[in-house]
Amino acid sequence: MGMKAKELVTRAGLDLDALLKDLNSAYCDEWLAYYQYWIGAKIVEGKMAGVIGGELAEHAGEELEHAEKLAKRIVQLGGTPAIAPDAWLKESTCGYLAPKDPDGKVLLEQNIQGERCAIEVYQKLLEMVAGKDPITEHLVREILEDELEHEQDLEDLHQSYPPNVKSCNC
């Protein structure tokens, strides 16, 4: 914990408990996103499976980095990041879409949905801390930038499918 880190956040007029709750929820989202991508990369089938698998694996690594950054900041602010996997689902905002259908196009659609949720989560967090907590603001801005890129990468891959290929019903 950093005593000054906490003090600065409180002095700036932020509700520390509310901030920690949102950071922890985002942390849980990141672990779920990590696993959804990681397992998707392993099981993907169909057209462009190799390319899609590579992109999903890369995104998995980036979601884990997001979890890492969030955990560090949570601890610095005197909080405790979720210590057991059951919290990931319970405290997550974006939840988990199990890749029951390994078709590449379906996986892309599920992950696009996850990215859109993540973008909303980080945009809201950014609005909460902007101009008040420069450290969290910087961290959230970096993650938001990655999530926007993730959505775009997946959309670009998705667009290369002809319109008659089946979609997910998620």
Q: Which of 153, 160, 161, 169 forms a contact with Mg ion (CB under 5 A)?
A: 153
Q: Which residue is nearest to Mg ion (CB)?
A: 153
Interaction between residue 147 and Fe ion (CB under 5 A): yes
**Half-sphere exposure of residue 81, counting CA atoms within 13 Å on the CB side?**
19
Q: Which of 41, 66, 99, 133 forms a contact with Fe ion (CB under 5 A)?
A: 66
Per rule CB under 5 A, count of chain residues that contact Mg ion: 1
Give the shortest CB-66-to-Fe ion separation in angstroms. 4
Closest CA to 115 of 53, 30, 43, 42: 30
Q: Is 49 exposed, middle or buried (0-12, 13-18, 19+ CB in 10 A)?
A: middle
Q: Are 84 and 25 in contact (CB under 8 A)?
A: no
Q: Which stretch binds Mg ion (CB under 5 A): 25-33, 45-53, 125-133, 148-156?
A: 148-156
Q: Which of 150, 153, 154, 158 forms a contact with Fe ion (CB under 5 A)?
A: 150
Q: Are 77 and 19 in contact (CB under 8 A)?
A: yes
Under the rule (CB under 5 A), what is the footprint of Fe ion?
30, 63, 66, 147, 150
